[in-house]
Structure 1
Amino acid sequence: MNKKYLWLLLCVTAGAHAASDGVTHYSTVTEVQRHLASPPDDARPMVRWWWFGPAVVKPQLEREMLAMKQGGFGGFEIQPVYPMELDDPARGIRNLPYLSPDFLDAVSFVNRKAHDYKLRVDMTLASGWPYGGPNVPVTEAASRLRVAPVDLPAGADAVALPAIGSGEKLVATFVGAGDAKQFDATRLALTELPSKDGRARVAPAAEKRVVVFYIASRTGQQVKRAALGAEGFVLDHLSRKAIDHHLSTVAEPLMKAFGKQPPYAVFSDSLEVYNTDWTDDFLAEFQRRRGYDLKPYLPVVYSGQGPDAGALRRDWALTQTELVNERYLTPVDDWAKKHNTRFRSQTYGEPAVSLSSNRLVALPEGEGPQFREFSFTRLATSAGHLYGRNVISAETWTWLNSPAFSATPLDMKVEADRMLLQGVNLFIGHGWPYTPPGAQEPGYAFYAAAVFNNHQPWWNVMPDVTAYLQRTSYLLRQGEPANDVALLLPNDDVYAESQPAKVSLSAEMHKHVTPEIMTQILDAGHNVDFLDAEALRDSGKRYPLIVLPHVTRMAPETLELLIKHAGAGGKVIAVGGKPSLAPGFRDAAAVTARVRTLSERLFALPGVRVVEDDAALGAAVGGAVAPDLRVSSQASAVGFIRRKLADGDLYFIANTSNREVRTTVSVAARRAHAAWWNPHDGTTTPISRTASALSSSAPEQAAQAQPAAGVAVAPGAGAAAAAAAAGDSLALVLSPYESRVLVLSDSAQLAPAIAARAAAGGTRVGTPGGPGATDARSEATLVALDGGWQLSFPAAGGTLAQPRALSALTSWADDPATRYYSGIGVYTTDIALQASQLTATRIKLDFGVGTPLDSTPKVPAGMRAMLDSPIREAAVVYVNGQRAGAVWHPPYQVDVTKLLKPGTNRIEVQVANLSINMLAGQERPDYRLLSARYGQRFVPQDTHLITPRPSGMLGQVRLLTENAQ
């Protein structure tokens, strides 16, 4: 039997299997759907839990863990950071020194309680980032090569040696024409100069010259945002000695605090070891790996002068990647395995780790929502797809809607959807600031992050938000990744472009993988993975199309792999030109000749071509491989990602724009049945025989689908279902930032969950004519709720707690009495309905549409939803005392069909705003004494933007009826 079909058969019969990460995932549509309503807890989002100081006490730690669980979070990563306050015995503030017995006791306590509450615990193997601290001597600190040119006047026979400080060593000395400000690095001569009493002897010459000293030095970088007692040098990530020392002095005590219950994972934040490009034995390691001595070429490497600079810098930077792989990533991952835990790593930044470096860690993690650009997140997800890491996390919501306390639930969704579209399936929220008992509301905030704890007024909808994140994360773990296009990252070109003290693949790759290249591929109807030469060689994963983005340098071995790929029917498109240079310096002329010969051979094969520029790529992609999901218009607004099951295909589809999308789509996958799965509550709606639209928000306006010529309709399948499965064009209507899941299958799916309640108490959907329904519908206003509302603020007390009649729905922040109020405002109204008015198929409480913003407000960093909601910022709706659902994202509607009754109906809308309104009414904290005691370890971001935001129910509220035509 064909091995492929044997594998499919095994998947179908076995149903579920456990991945190497220990998380069970499923291969068949039936099994995936069976767990849709109640996904496993391991798919719940997590939070980064900042312990400031750390000044933590056990009762508050336990309260915050319980709040996390109540909000739907599945666990946390402990991250001790800088103090927020001075010790204050009267208030119970005591900063516990990092790794002190009291600090480790708090870690142990939290671990025990977390296991009781079934919460996942991850531990950062340091305080702040990158790894380092007081145990790092200067001889193990992050290293760099320092260049010190000195003028040598005409006739001089000696020169003062540069001062060599602690942790430094003179590596090489060069002499040549020029002066300290300008010299030709290619003409400097490596010279051994005898020295005495701090001066080096030089043979005199008639002309002025320059002496250039190359000194192995240290960057001096200190750990960023360190906790009390964790201050010190960032360690040398290219030194095994430094890593082993850190593991023994920091990681081991932390692990002992966990006792017999190790953390689920240990964590390393993004590599931000600024200015590093050296280590003590770099020259010896370079010669061993590259086959020649780098010392004579140091002036060329560090100046960039001469025709060989690029090749030399490529070899120099590649050596750094190999060292960080072998001496940092591998030892930490091995250490984690030895201690029965996993290494979760943000493997990007400086030093220059590569996409394939992620193969060395158990849990790759990304950062950044740039779905249509090069992103660190796609590095991690691609590595997961290539190397079989089924769970791929991302630090999410960093800098979201700055300043702190401005972020909304919709902001969370907008960024999360971009992460999902890149393949993320575990969210690490950034973050949860520990706040001591008695602290002034709204509590602590990290200097550069949003706040997602129960100090936010809109915490009332957090279970609905986390349920969405949990369900989508669960779905994107199922089956196998299915991107058909890969971008082969030009690592060698980026290495060659590296500069001293800034050696990073991830920071510079955007010059080759441009936004236009990403746009061309995505708009051609494909999602995309990144690939590099190592993964092409070792991963075993194959793509129908490989794109080479502005690749000049390429190893002959990589070209041979591409020739093999094309020979087996694969396609290759090069953007801007063919590979034409050897990647490195050794034997460059001979290797370049071979590269050009192989390149000509490759591009003579069928299915291999060059396009002149980025703008021509999309058409070439469309000619090479059929679109996976083709969007006929507004393609830039719609993103998708597909997971392939043994008997079906799962598409997560999202409108990433702030405006409604009305378009048609065609799906390449050929399956007999189709259904919408609601990512908010897990209900399902099959696409029926008379389906006219793949739409949930406006089915009545969808166009009639027309079957394509030559499409075979499966026996027993509805015409539209078969059309959807076989690639016909079908109408798609998406509200701003709306997302949903399309599932195509070979066999009929489970019966839909009709009129099911959302697991988190969200909107009732899935009823006949509900979201995902595909029959033609007519919609009409049953009652316009323009007046009759009363508003009260029960938590405020006093007169504000008493209901007051409203003449119009306006922002309560416009009222001086409530301008600085952060909390919940309760809107109530009574409406009388007759039995004859309740006969509609479906009745919805509609709050209006959002207002798209045409330009970005003054948010200096991060992102936000570019939509002003009619509900600011979230609401829970009750009808006749029963919870009808939550309102926090478009479409702003709640199904109330089953909750209305003849006679008087009480509608209550509990609207929550933002904590920033309260913050705007307070003086900013004075950190002068804190900084005097501990040094300035943080600066709160964007405090000049703190101002009250519109609050309350602001749209036109209506009861709408929906009926089948």
Structure 2
Amino acid sequence: MTGVAADIVRAVREPAPHAAPLMRWWWFSSHVSEAAIDADLDAMRDAGIGGVEVAFVYPVADGGPGFGSRELLALVAYAARGAERRGLRFDLTLGAGWPFGGPHVDAATAARGLHWERIELAPGVTGIAYRPPFDGDVVVSAYVGAGSLQETPASWEPAEVGDRIRVPAFGDGPRVLLIAVSRLTGQNVKRAPRGGEGLVLDHYSAVAARAHLDAVAAPLLEAAGAARVHAGFCDSFEVYDADWTPDLPEEFRARRGYDVLPSLWMLRVDAPGGSRIRADLMTTLSELFEERFLAVFAEWAHAHGILFRAQCYGEPPMLTSSFRHVDLFEGEGWGWRRWTKNSWAVSAASAYGRTIVSSETWTWVRSPSFRAGPLDLLGEAYEHLLGGVNLLFGHGWPVGAALGAGEPVFYASGALDARNPWWSVARELFDGIARASAVLQLGRRIAQVGVYHPVAELRARAEGERPFDLWRQTRRFVDDAFVSAVRTSGLDHDLVDDASLAAGGTERFEVVLVPAGCTPTPRADALLTASGVRVVRLTEPAGEARDAEIRAALAPVVPPLATSRPETVGVTTRQLDDARVSLIVNTAATAEEVVLEATGRALTVWDAVSGRVRAVSADGPAIVRLGSYDGVLVAQADAVLEMGTDARAVAPGPRPALDVSGWSVVSPGGRRSVALPHVWEDDPAVAPETERLVYETDVTLDRAGDVVVDFGEGIIAPRAGRASSFAVPADPPVAVVAHVDVDGTPVGDVWRPPFSIGLGRLTAGRHVLTIAVSSLGVRAAAAAAVDGSDAAAIAADGVRFRVQDAERRAVGVRSGILRAPSFRLSER
């Protein structure tokens, strides 16, 4: 076995703490304590979670340490020491709430945007006294044109701005005065903790960035101890409507070579040349943000011996190439066939040679809180990993959750903590995710398709809401269907702009697609021509014709691992020196028989969660049956890497059915007979707060043999709610975890496909089978959680959030054994 092959086997077999999922740790300013910290860190470590990212957010009750207070900093120090002692990674959010800001921000350092006043002037008026209405307002420039509010002027001239705005007469007719005012956006820090409230800072100002680092980040890092902190973190940028900074005119002139003020009115009024002004202004804003925020934060982090991790998308306007200013790249958004922010971050990582790409995961998983089961978490994790990321940050863990009842939940995420009744399988879940992540951290991700990013078009013309969010605006050219057409061809893609093309690496592409309506810049054309890559300029802007055009362009490209079900079976592949390794996941609602083929290579197929071998092939295709959101890891090498088969996946031939009946439910109140399927919500004898119920039956064998219990396929259920909220398309037939014992000896748990379990070799005679079913947390756990929406909390701290979808928490929930299991016996 070569060294590379050994690396693959080691990643599959051995624990991978460097790849274990981490958790965003929500620190509510009302609930942080040493007891909560210790309980949470112990619970996370025991569940296989690799570390935490502390996020400081709103209070859910009265009291608690204020943000930045000596008491809170002492708790930060206590948590950092506790994480270090337990071998957990410790990341620190470099601010409170989001976007960054707070009480240290004033009118000189707060986010600003251009505000426009349009005033009609009567004939004869040659001047007007204009006093901006709000504190912090500054008149930037003014323009006048002959016309009225109804008849828009055909041209505009600058007006003289002083104590009074002086305007030319233009004859005896009416005129329109257009005034550009630099105004504070007024945006406050969202979800701020008590003591962290205030204005959002100017992200185009190095002075504002450094003031924030001095006032907020430095005390936090000093308290934690830089040696204990892996990275400082900045969440996605949501600095809305901020398109100005005081020295923008001077910076624009220096960078673009001309004065913007005479033409600034074109931002408000359509005119020839307006596209150039808009594009140049957005380019200047992007540069200022990169240099004065990202680079300043990274420089500060490096000076203090830590890394800088950020989600570089949103507003201010930024590109995939903006990631080059940070150390650790992070995305978010599930969907291997969708245009996600993971695509943005992963593309940047490919361009700049970064091996690890993390993702904010489970943000809205099966909303609301406690509604997600372990299979939902596994399914969404696979959607992120198929998108090219290889390290997950769970969103998230509410502080104190491990203390149990009476502890809070976050308003907008799954409650991914030990209060869930199914938590006994959390270790298996998170270890499985760590295994897949570790394998996907090997080598280099294969992306044979480049997609040219129409940056010039996006900057020159924005549509709809959030014009400065270039990730969102990219959907005009690269939408979900575009991505799906590439991925369901068995291939993967990277978005490339001029800067990332200049960084090199174009040899990894076999084809570059240029979206319709997009013209590569001369610089990009030269780089693509020099690389020799095949460039296909699409002619169809959208729809089935565009998707067919994409598939035709990609038809000559051979996938790194071919599957018989490319439309529903997702593939992501990593290239090592003399081998390849892939994650394969069936994302259909039903089980699929999948043929895997890589010409001339031997295939070794492991179960992605357990690491057990499921199939091997020395010289031909491998065939594996995959349930809905069932995943496997596949190595392509010169020889099979491991032998053996996984009993979960490979049946030893036909098995005679056993006649098993007479099920009972056992509870502290006694024993009663039930018929399967048994749905708790339909049985009035099951108390509403029940979260665990034990079923029992006898199995009598007339001869010794191996017994398998099969609960059948998942149950396809209708889905309603948020489009951004992931849920597996089929509910497990045991809702949501079955803990199986035979004659008092634990056998294992059933919670993911295939929903079957071997009981081992049983002797002839009578055996007692016990199945303890654990439900979702929507019953007692959710009822005992604190969400902070009560009148007292609102009176103390105002409305800082609204709990997501709480009214739908129990809608459609079905708990229990939803399919009667079958029993099969085989002799050896």
1:678 deviation in Å?
1.8
1:465 positional shift:
0.9
> 2:350 — aligned with what?
385
Question: Residue 415 of structure 2 aligns to a residue in which SS?
Answer: coil
CA-CA distance at 1:907 after TM superposition = 2.2
SS at match of 2:726: coil
CA distance in 2, matches of 1:409, 1:270: 26
Shift of 1:563: 1.0
Superposition deviation, residue 925 in structure 1:
6.7
Residue 709 of structure 2 corresponds to residue 845 of structure 1:
yes
Which residue is equivalent to 1:468?
Answer: 432
Shift of 1:31: 2.1
Instruction: Kindly indicate whether the alpha-carbon contact (under 8 Å) linking 2:589 and 2:729 is maintained by their aligned counterparts in 1.
Output: yes
- 1:447 alignment partner in structure 2: 411
Counterpart selection for 1:206 from 172, 175, 183: 172
Q: Which residue of 2 aligns with 1:734?
A: 626
- Per-residue CA deviations over 1:480-539 (Å, capped at 9, x if unaligned) read 211211212111211112369731111111110022221221222212222221111114
Give distance in 2, aligned partners of 1:268 and 1:68: 23
Q: For 1:659, which of 590, 603, 623 is the aligned residue? A: 590
Distance 2:394 2:494 in 1: 24
Q: Which residue of 2 aligns with 1:329?
A: 294
- Cα distance, 1:743 vs structure 2: 0.9
Aligned match of 1:96? 65
Report the equivalent of 1:116: 85
Q: 2:184 aligns with which of 218, 224, 248?
A: 218
> 1:260, CA displacement in angstroms?
5.4
Instruction: Summarize deviations over 1:237-265 as a string: whole Å, max 9, x none.
Output: 11111101001111110111012533111
Q: Within 5 A, what are the aligned runs for 1:598-609?
A: none
Classify the secondary structure of the residue corresponding to 1:469: helix
Q: What is residue 903 of structure 1 aligned with on the other side?
A: 765
In structure 1, what residue type is equivalent to 2:554? V
Alignment match of 1:320 (pick from 255, 273, 285): 285
Counterpart of 2:228 in 1: which secondary structure? coil
Residues 439 and 834 of structure 1, relative CA distance in 2, 3 Å threshold: closer
User: Is 316-325 or 654-663 further displaced after alignment?
Assistant: 654-663
Q: Distance in 1 between matches of 2:827 and 2:380?
A: 35
Mapping of residues 738-777 of structure 1, within 5 Å: 738-749=630-641, 751-752=642-643, 766-767=645-646, 770-771=647-648
Q: 1:819 to 1:162 in 2, by over 3 A?
A: farther
1:424 matched to 2:392? The reply is no
Q: Which moved more, 1:289-298 or 1:60-69?
A: 289-298
SS in 2 for 1:654: strand
3-state SS in 2 of match to 1:420? helix
Matched, 1:617 2:585: no
Distance verdict in 2 for CA 1:919–1:160, change over 3 Å = farther
Aligned-partner Cα distance in 1 for 2:587–2:676? 32
| Deviation for aligned residue 1:83 | 0.6
Matched with 2:573 is 642
**How much is the aligned-residue C-alpha RMSD, in angstroms?**
2.5
Q: Deviations over 1:598-639 (max 9, x none)?
A: xxxxxxxxxxxxx9734311012113x22333444x432111
Partners in 2 of 1:177 and 1:501 — Cα distance? 32
- Report Cα offsets for 1:53-98 as digits up to 9, x if no partner: 24311022101110111111111111111110113xxxxxxx1100
Q: Secondary structure at 1:369's aligned position in 2?
A: coil
- Which amino acid in 2 is paired with 1:423? G
Aligned to 1:244: 210
Hey, what's the Cα distance between the residues in 2 that align with 1:496 and 1:961? 69
* Stretch moving more, 876-885 or 208-217: 876-885
Q: Does the 8 A contact of 1:664 with 1:732 survive in 2? A: yes
Taking only the aligned residue pairs, the percentage that are identical comes to: 31
1:278 paired with 2:244, answer: yes
AA aligned to 2:115 is: R
SS at structure 1 position matched to 2:583: strand
Secondary structure of 2:90's match?
strand
Match of 2:681 in 1: 813
Residue 782 in structure 1 maps to residue 657 in structure 2? yes
**1:780 Cα deviation from its structure 2 partner:** 2.7
Conserved? CA contact 2:696–2:770, under 8 Å: yes
Deviations 1:83-128 (A, max 9, x none): 10113xxxxxxx1100100000000001111111111111100111
Sort the Cα spacing of 1:39 and 1:385 in 2 relative to 1 into closer, same or farther, 3 A: farther
Q: Aligned AA for 2:663? A: W
Give the conservation status (yes or no) of the 8 Å contact 1:336–1:342: yes
Partner of 1:723: 620
Whether 2:47 is the aligned partner of 1:71: answer: yes
Residue ranges of structure 2 left out of the alignment (5+ in a row)? none
2:359 is paired with a residue of what secondary structure? strand
Alignment-derived partner of residue 142 in structure 2: 173
Structure 2: how far apart are the matches of 1:722 and 1:249? 63
Seen in structure 2, the aligned counterparts of structure 1 residues 127 and 822 have a Cα distance that, compared at 3 Å, is farther
Distance 1:815 1:313, change over 3 A: same
Q: Which amino acid aligns with 2:629?
A: Y
Distance 2:518 2:724 in 1: 34
Q: Which amino acid letter does the alignment assign opposite residue 715 of structure 2?
A: T
Output the amino acid matched with 1:96: P
Q: Which one of the candidate residues 571, 579, 587 is aligned to 2:534?
A: 571
- Label 1:888 to 1:806 Cα distance change in 2 as closer, same or farther (>3 A): same
2:514 match: secondary structure: strand
TM-fit CA distance, 1:178: 3.0
Matched AA of 2:65: L
Query: Do residues 946 (structure 1) and 821 (structure 2) align?
Result: no
C-alpha contact 1:875 1:909 (8 A) present in aligned 2: yes
Aligned residues: 822
SS of the aligned residue for 1:803 comes to: strand
Where in structure 2 are the equivalents of 1:251-650 lying within 5 Å?
251-259=217-225, 261-303=227-269, 305-435=270-400, 440=405, 443-498=407-462, 502-542=467-507, 543-566=509-532, 570-576=533-539, 613-623=546-556, 625-632=557-564, 634-650=565-581
Q: Partners of 1:921 and 1:479 in 2: how far apart? A: 46
Residues 493, 448 of structure 1: alpha-carbon distance in 2 compared, 3 angstrom cutoff:
same
Q: How far did 1:663 drift?
A: 5.0
Cα 1:252/1:822, change in 2 over 3 Å? farther
For residue 144 of structure 1, what is the aligned residue in structure 2? 113
Instruction: Check conservation: 1:276, 1:501, Cα contact below 8 A.
Output: no
Kindly indicate whether residue 5 of structure 2 is the aligned counterpart of residue 40 of structure 1. Answer: no
Spell out structure 1 runs of 4+ moving beyond 6 A: 436-439, 919-925
Please report how far the alpha carbon of residue 784 of structure 1 lies from its aligned counterpart in structure 2 after TM superposition.
4.3
C-alpha deviation, 1:888, in angstroms: 1.4
Query: Offset of 1:961 from its aligned partner?
Result: 4.4
Partner of 2:201: 235
More contact order relative to length (CA 8 Å, sep ≥ 6): 2
- TM-score computed with the length of structure 1 as normaliser: 0.81
**2:796 counterpart of 1:933:** yes
Q: Give how far 1:169 is off.
A: 1.6
- Give the C-alpha shift of residue 206 in structure 1: 1.0
Distance 1:61 1:922 in 2: 20
Q: Distance in 1 between matches of 2:519 and 2:795?
A: 52
Query: 1:492 aligns to what SS in structure 2?
Result: helix
Aligned partners of 1:659, 1:266: CA distance in 2, in Å? 42
TM-score (ref. length: structure 2): 0.94
Give, in whole Å, the separation in 2 of the partners of 1:277 and 1:962. 71
Q: Within 5 Å, give how 1:669-684 maps onto structure 2.
A: 670-671=600-601, 673-684=602-613
1:188 to 130, 147, 156: 156
Q: 1:317 to 1:148 in 2, by over 3 A?
A: same
Cα deviation, residue 477, structure 1: 0.2
Structure 1 pair 641–557 and aligned structure 2 pair: CA distance change class (3 A): same
Task: Return the alpha-carbon distance in structure 2 between the equivalents of residues 230 and 446 of structure 1.
Answer: 18
